[in-house]
Amino acid sequence: MTTTVMPESPGVAVAPIRRDPYIDNVKGLLIVLVALGHMVGQTLGSSPGGRTIYTFIYLCHMPAFVMLSGMLSATELTGRRAASLIRDLLAPYVVFQLLYMSFYTVMDRPMPWTVNEFLSPIYHLWFLPALFIWRMLAPLFAQLRGAVVIAIVVSLSAGAATVLGHALSLDRVAGMLPFFVLGVWLGRGRLAYRPSPLVRLTAIAVLIAAAPMAYLVASRLSNLWVYWNRAYQRLGVEMTEGVLIRLGLMAVGLAMTWAIMMLAPRRQTFLTGWGANSMYPYLLHGFVVLAFAWSPLDDQVDNIPALLVLIAAVVALVWITASRPVVWALRPLVSPPVRWLLRDVVPAKKHQPTAVTSQS
């Protein structure tokens, strides 16, 4: 599977480069976890072990996505890159926020069509405005000394604040900032690292150890902790305890993220295509999750076979929504034509020395 890198200036020929299957495999695995986490989340009152599975997924899937996004982010904000942020993040947010608001209305669960509602991302759409803000800040954090430490302080301080709300995902922007900044600091080059068998075994051990950790978190803490968008006060703890819990969650999320990246395959697999088109299952699976939540089916997942069927259905959902026919049919929604909205980026002309002629 190939893609063409757009040149910084028109008229400059650029040869196609091959997509990195490793990056797409990581994205493919994570998008399955995103959809599975959302679907299992609707069955917490009935599914066996559902709360532990849900917590296990939430401890790592978004920290991993956020850190990977940081590693892939440019540390310079050119006109073309700014235009891509509008095209790839803001435009899909506008389209799908309106679509989900319409879906709520059609399903007889109307919500007020107000500016406040429009600016408060519905369900999983929070990631689009958050990623837009993070990527706008990437050049700043790339220049800061001690950027990771600063980001941790911001996250811990955000837990003590009550002014950050859901508008434009500012609560999660601050809460998950350390994962993104760490990704920026590591850079894309770290993705080329090839782990040894011993490192892979260590990564397996980390994920195995994370299972009882997920059980403890699920049994002793509210699910709201793993959303990274609640103040300590609203979670019922004092600031010191809240800071320690959030630091612990950061450490667990980072360890699990490292393990996932060490274990992801580096060759072409079935995950590769899902990762390359991951925006489609990300934006579309919410309709299925909400319909499932509003139906009586969620209460039927009350045994192991039913849970396995649900997992298989989630995998099938990702496979379908990342398939070529769906991508072809829905490209105008997922990648809206916004060229008319963007100014043409005219590159600065290189200075040409003036020829000096002698006069006789």
Q: What is the pLDDT along the chain (360 residues), one digit of tens a residue?
A: 433 333 333 333 334 457 899 999 999 999 999 999 999 999 998 888 999 999 999 999 999 999 999 999 988 888 888 888 999 999 999 999 999 999 999 998 888 899 999 999 998 999 999 999 999 999 999 999 999 999 999 999 999 988 888 899 999 999 999 999 999 999 999 999 999 999 999 999 999 999 999 999 999 999 999 999 999 999 999 999 999 999 999 999 999 999 999 999 999 999 999 999 999 999 999 999 999 999 999 889 999 999 999 999 999 999 999 999 999 999 999 999 888 887 775 554 544 444 433 333
Compute the distance between CA of residue 287 and CA of residue 155 in angstroms, rounded to an integer: 31
Element (H, E) at 3: strand 2-3
Instruction: Please give the single-letter amino acid code of residue 147.
Output: A
Per-residue model confidence (pLDDT) at position 345:
57
Per-residue model confidence (pLDDT) at position 201:
97
* CA 324 to centroid of chain Cα atoms: 22
Compute the distance between CA of residue 48 and CA of residue 56 in angstroms, rounded to an integer: 14
Tell me the whole-structure pTM to 2 decimals. 0.88
Residue 199 buriedness (CB in 10 A; 0-12 / 13-18 / 19+): middle
Per-residue model confidence (pLDDT) at position 17:
53
Phi/psi of residue 171, nearest 5 degrees = -65, -45
The DSSP 8-state label assigned to residue 6 in this structure reads: P
Per-residue model confidence (pLDDT) at position 177:
97
Sign of CA dihedral 86, 87, 92, 95: positive
Compute the distance between CA of residue 100 and CA of residue 45 in angstroms, rounded to an integer: 25
Following DSSP, what letter does each residue of 208-240 receive, concatenated?
HHHHHHHHHHHHHS-GGGGGT---TGGGT--HH
Helix axes 127-143, 177-186, angle to 10 degrees: 50
Both tokens of 136, joined, read: 């706008």
CB 292 within 8 A of CB 317: no
Cβ contacts of residue 169 below 8 Å, gap of 6+? Answer: 121, 126, 127, 129, 130, 133, 229
Both tokens of 62, joined, read: 């978004």
Pairing of strands 2-3, 17-18: antiparallel
Both tokens of 299, joined, read: 């209460």
Cβ contacts of residue 277 below 8 Å, gap of 6+? Answer: 322, 323, 327
Instruction: Please give the single-letter amino acid code of residue 173.
Output: V
* CA 340 to centroid of chain Cα atoms: 28
CB 55 within 8 A of CB 218: yes
